[in-house]
Amino acid sequence: MVIRARAPLRLGLAGGGTDVSAYSDAFGGAILNATINKFAYVTLTPLQLPQIIIKCHDINEHHVFNNVNDFDLNDKHLILIKGIHNRIRKEFNIQKPMFYQLETYVDAPPGSGLGSSSTLIVTIVAAFAEWLGLPLGDYDLAHLAYSIERDDLGLSGGKQDQYAATFGGFNFMEFYSDRVLVNPLRVKQNYIYELEFSLIQYHTGTSRLSSKIIDAQVHNVSSNCTKSIDAMHSLKSLAFNMKESLLKGKLNDIGELLNESWISKKNTADEVSNDVIDEIYDIAMKNGSLGGKMSGAGGGGYMMFYVQNGYLYHLIKVLNEFGGMVERVTFYERGVLTWKTQC
């Protein structure tokens, strides 16, 4: 028997950063995001031999561990998988050793800003749940993935990625100190098609360590930095405005709201942008974009632009001259999936 799992990556459309606990615990956060046609994939094969075999095909890692019950988390190599293994055993009181081969692949590189690490955790946890018959609903799965990443492993970040990967589709999410609410949006299909046509992603060719940016944002909020907190308030308000524009099909407003969001985002921490990113953004705005933003925390990875009618192919040509990679956007409506096969 082989267990497979797949979960989609996401685009953060508005409100990014307000899901980080330093802000959401104090003020409540709000985010609008949507999952896209890029995925994290997992194949889990139970083994009879006393081994754990891990193959991360996208980063060319292949490791064999013999006679392991629990991993030493002081060894940070493959820390996500090790943390998941340990937490699953502890959370569900699994006494007997778990031996398996785990293969992973993600359609976007680490540091892309598309939530790849958190999505991979959701996918692996879902594969274990399918194998072991664990009683996890959608909220349970997302919260467990979040807790592993933030509590067990101490990795900085917010909450939206785990919930986006689990639920899938267009969602308006609210974050509080004691709960998360996921509100699926019924967006008309022709609005989605037009949004797909008008959005482009541009990979800068660089990645970034989101934890450094998020740590700076947390510091600014915790130290009552007025500029940063006001910027977070603005990002949250813009998420509500973006939701209304999307549901009403006022798509050009989305471009303008993206631009407002990017201005506010840069005020949350100095590390969000740099001279290269600012130059690309300015060029895009002068060549047909109504607005855009960095995906995720910022600092590198993917940029996203909403392009006004008639300028799409011109802007693609202009951005290609910067040496990065332009991609079209396709949304994906489902969340994490698991299935068993004999193949």
Q: Which residues are catalytically annotated?
A: 161
Q: What angle, 0 to 180 degrees and rounded to 10, lies between the N-to-C axes of helices 116-132 and 160-167?
A: 50
Q: Residue 39 gets which letter from DSSP?
A: E
18, 238 contact by CB (below 8 A): no
- Strand stretches in the chain, DSSP E: 2-14, 29-46, 51-56, 61-66, 100-106, 170-175, 180-184, 199-203, 289-294, 302-307, 325-328, 337-341
User: d(Cα 131, Cα 99) in Å, to the nearest integer?
Assistant: 12
Q: How many CA atoms lie within 13 A of 324 on its CB side?
A: 24
- φ/ψ of residue 124, rounded to 5: -70, -45
- Residue 43's CB is within 10 A of a number of other CB atoms, namely 19
User: d(Cα 202, Cα 307) in Å, to the nearest integer?
Assistant: 12
Q: Residue 22 gets which letter from DSSP?
A: H
- State whether residue 327 is helix, strand or coil: strand
Q: What DSSP string runs through 198-262?
A: HEEEEE-S----HHHHHHHHHHHHHTT-HHHHHHHHHHHHHHHHHHHHHHHT-HHHHHHHHHHHH
| Ramachandran quadrant class, 306 (left: phi over 0; alpha: psi -120 to 50; beta: rest) | beta
Burial of 244 by CB count in 10 Å (0-12 exposed, 13-18 middle, 19+ buried)? exposed
User: d(Cα 87, Cα 82) in Å, to the nearest integer?
Assistant: 9
How far, in Å, are 50, 241, 250, 252, 305 from residue 191 at the CA level?
52, 16, 9, 11, 17
